[in-house]
Structure 1
Amino acid sequence: YTELGSIRIQFVAKVSGELIKQLLDDLLDDGILNDGEKDSILESNNSRADRARCLIDTVKRKGREASKKMIAHLQERDPTLFTELGLPPPV
């Protein structure tokens, strides 16, 4: 899904640790991630940037629908970052 790929570097640079956790919770609720994947992203990556990379790469691998959901959650949780990243609103 190209949108996530195109914003990866900026997302990694700008996303907060708290927002990463919120997005993980949202994606867990959606059934896109399971508990193991969520825990792995948090525990296997020591830095905020590594967690952000792992999150975006994991969601990208899950396909278009998963990517659209993550973008929708990002827009809801942090409209400012969403706008800075120049993402189109999810359809």
Structure 2
Amino acid sequence: MAKQLHSVRTEFIDSVSDAVLSQLLDRLLQKGMLTQEEVEIANGTRRADKARYVVDTVIKKGSKVSLFLIENYCKLDPHSDLCRKLTHP
């Protein structure tokens, strides 16, 4: 999953909305997959930098966290082209 997420990194950065990013951060924090400090770092940046930080941090944490991000992204934005790519590679 980390490789799959890495393959769409640029598209994720370009397309994910700030609202979806905020919800993803909340869910990742709630599940203990990101620390409070990581969430604060992400929230202290503009949308593109926040998306870049989130995707890079999640990829580094491995497949389990990457899968969680992908699943939750697709729950929050199910009709996006990126979600279709991630669920139907």
What code does the residue aligned with 1:19 have? V
Aligned twin of 2:52: 53
- Kindly tell me the number of residue pairs found equivalent between the two proteins: 85
Q: Secondary structure at the match of 1:23?
A: helix
What code does the residue aligned with 1:76 have? K
Moved over 2 A (4+): none
**Mind listing any 5+ residue stretches in structure 1 that lack a counterpart?**
none
What code does the residue aligned with 2:10 have? I
Q: Secondary structure at the match of 1:33?
A: coil
CA-to-partner distance for each residue in 1:32-75, whole Å, 9 max, x for gaps? 001111001111x2x21111000000000101100000011011
Aligned twin of 1:7: 8
For residues 29 and 68 of structure 2, the distance between their equivalents in structure 1, rounded to whole angstroms, comes to: 11
For residues 29 and 12 of structure 1, the distance between their equivalents in structure 2, rounded to whole angstroms, comes to: 22
- Identical-pair percentage: 36
For residues 20 and 53 of structure 1, the distance between their equivalents in structure 2, rounded to whole angstroms, comes to: 10
Aligned twin of 2:87: 88
* Aligned-pair CA distance for 1:88: 2.2
- The normalised TM-score by structure 1 is 0.88
